[in-house]
Amino acid sequence: MKKAFLIFLFMGIAYSIFSQSSYTNITISTTNSPEEPSICINPKNLYQLAAGANISSAYYSTNSGFNWTRFNLTNSSWGVWGDPCLIADTAGNFYYFHLANTTSPNGYWIDRIICQKSTNGGASYSNPGSFTYYNPPNCQQDKEWAIVDPRNNNIYVSWTQFDVYGVTTQTDSSRILFSKSTDGGLTWVNWGTGTAKRIDKLGGDCEDSDNTVEGAVPAVGPNGEIYVGWAGPKIRNSQFGIFLNKSTDAGLTWLSDPIYVADDPGGWDYMISGIQRANGMPITCCDLSSSPYRGYVYINWSDSAGPNNHDVKFVRSTNGGVNWSAPLKVNLDTGGKEQFFCWMTVDQKNGNIYIVYYDRRDDASNAGATQFYMAKSTNGGASFTEERISESAFIPTSSTFFGDYTNITAYNGVVRPIWARLQGTSLSVMTAIIGVPTGIVEPVAVTPKEYKLFQNTPNPFNPATSISYSIPKDNFVTLKVYNMLGQEVASLVNEFKKAGEHTFEFSAGNLSSGVYFYKLTAGDFSSTKKMILNK
């Protein structure tokens, strides 16, 4: 047992030494086990960022992502369930899209897509906002994504509709729907048959797996073209692919036969060791910048190259989606390792393409150690470079749900990815500082002169409190919480940490009121302090 522990400790130190990132990582929040995050930069004010995470977490930053404020997003009429999507228009307004959790007598679970608008940098949102589509009682809506046409601020939304979510009855179907708003999300256009149009043709089943059509992310072209890609069955139960439909009249009409873009070996739903559920749903983008690649359409997804070997793929079209390049493998490892949960964005100021994903190429012992990577293309997707952007690896557990996606936003060289990671037994949402707007100076880290564990604040607390500590040199750190009987009730930190001051936001929602102790151990140093949970 002792030998195994020493091996594990060495592994943790090795991952940290050989997996350092050149970018500062910022913990956005640890409250309420956040996952499936979304993030958006305000193109009108690069200091402002808005973000969200399942199920009802909202965050905003006024200093380019160095500091964040969190609050619970509420909806008085239709509730908040999840699948957060954050976008911004050219006037500087943010929009938070999410699924419903309606509890009224006339409501049904995930029965509509909700849009709530912020006019103050994401500090608050309209309540209840609006919804795009409602077709009770059986049809459930899922995995929405939205985009703004910068020419007129039209908002376009696409998503998957289920006859009955999760059922195995083959007569039930899933389909891709599309809706739009021309008044800043206040109302949604009615085409005579409702506020949504079906844009796929083959459909899928409702099992929420490979034979379901999923991943409907819209993109806008330079002349107002709308592109929506998705993954689903080419031949039910045997072959899977990536599809795309296109509208050239602001969503009024679509191609009667969607374009088949590429094969999707293994389908979009797959298993990753230590991940409760993983997927490779596609993301569609279009270059609106003044770069030489203006108008190029891109689709990014991940598929299965073989057992325990999922790769990030990319295709591009230079003629409005008519023809597509052969799939390019974005991750540059030699193969046999896992890459999953990818997302793509285009910097609409300079045309750079960014793709982020979890990566296990450094996991020499196959323990599940996971890093976060970013690939970049400056030549319209002809080739990519990539780099590690997470400061250290983490090891996920299959009992922890990470949601269905990560995200990234970029504008004029300011790039902010967002991802979930497991710290001890708690999920956190992270970002990395990649580029800063003019006038922002990245804080210079001052190395502490001594080990120190600070008193938690607030104290007493309910249900969350912040615990800070400082270490003068890189070290393996544990931070644990104990009850009055000396029994461990929470493991907050259990990994190699860089020298500096660190803060962990501890949520004790599952603990009862009383006195607790938290203990920091780093090398030969240990310190314990008392805190009071008062519910």
pLDDT tens digits along 192-203: 878 999 999 999
End-to-end CA distance of the chain: 39
Cα 41 versus chain centre, distance: 14
pTM for the predicted model, two decimal places? 0.82
Rounded (5°) CA angle 359-42-70: 70
Q: Please, what is the average pLDDT of the chain?
A: 90
Yes or no: say if 90 and 45 are a contact pair by the CB < 8 Å rule. Answer: no
Residues paired with residue 247 on neighbouring β-strands, in sequence order: 226
Taking CA atoms, 86 is separated from 35, 201, 407, in Å, by 14, 28, 10
Query: How far is CA 11 from its chain centroid?
Result: 28
431 within 8 A of 389, measured Cβ to Cβ:
no
Q: Phi and psi at residue 364, in whole multiples of 5°?
A: -65, -30
Tell me how far CA of residue 461 lies from CA of 29, 358, 457, 530, in angstroms: 17, 34, 8, 12
Measured in whole angstroms, the distance separating CA 464 from the mean position of its chain's CA atoms is 23
The amino acid at 299? I
* Cβ neighbours for 476, distance < 8 A, ≥ 6 positions apart: 9, 12, 13, 495, 496, 497, 522, 523
Reported as a pLDDT band with limits 50, 70 and 90, residue 398 is confident
Domain formed by 23-432, architecture: 6 Propeller (2.120)
CB 82 within 8 A of CB 54: yes
Interior angle at CA 158, CA 152 and CA 160, nearest 5: 175
pLDDT tier, 105 (very low <50, low <70, confident <90, very high otherwise):
low
Specify the pLDDT at position 6: 34
Q: Which residues pair with 26 in a beta bridge?
A: 431
Neighbours of 193 (CB within 10 A): 8
> Is the per-residue pLDDT at 110 higher than 50?
yes
Mean pLDDT over 106-114 rounds to 87
- pLDDT value for 124: 97
Q: Could you read off the pLDDT of 352-391 as tens digits, one per residue? A: 999 999 999 998 888 899 999 999 999 999 999 999 999 9
Q: Where are the domains of the chain?
A: 23-432, 452-533
Compute the average pLDDT of residues 10-23: 45
Cα 309 from Cα 326, distance rounded (Å) = 19
Write phi, then psi, for 255 (nearest 5 degrees).
Answer: -60, 135
- pLDDT at position 277 is 83
CATH of domain 452-533: 2.60.40.3080
Check residues 530 and 6 and name the one with the higher pLDDT. Answer: 530
Per residue in 253-274, is it b (16+ CB within 10 Å) or e — as a string? ebeeebbebbebbbbbbbebeb
pLDDT (0 to 100) of residue 443: 56
User: Average pLDDT of 271-280?
Assistant: 88
507: part of which helix (H) or strand (E)? strand 500-507
Tokens of 59: 């965050």
Are 214 and 242 spatial neighbours (Cβ–Cβ below 8 Å)? no
Q: What is the pLDDT of residue 127?
A: 96
| Most confident of the following: 181-195, 283-297, 504-518 | 283-297
Whether 34 and 41 have beta carbons less than 8 Å apart is answered as: no
What is the phi/psi pair of residue 118, to 5°?
A: -120, 130
Q: How confident is the model at residue 526 (pLDDT cuts 50, 70, 90)?
A: very high
CA gap 395, 399 in Å, rounded: 12
For residues 281 and 242, give the distance between their C-alpha atoms in angstroms, rounded to a whole number.
9
| 12: pLDDT strictly greater than 60 | no
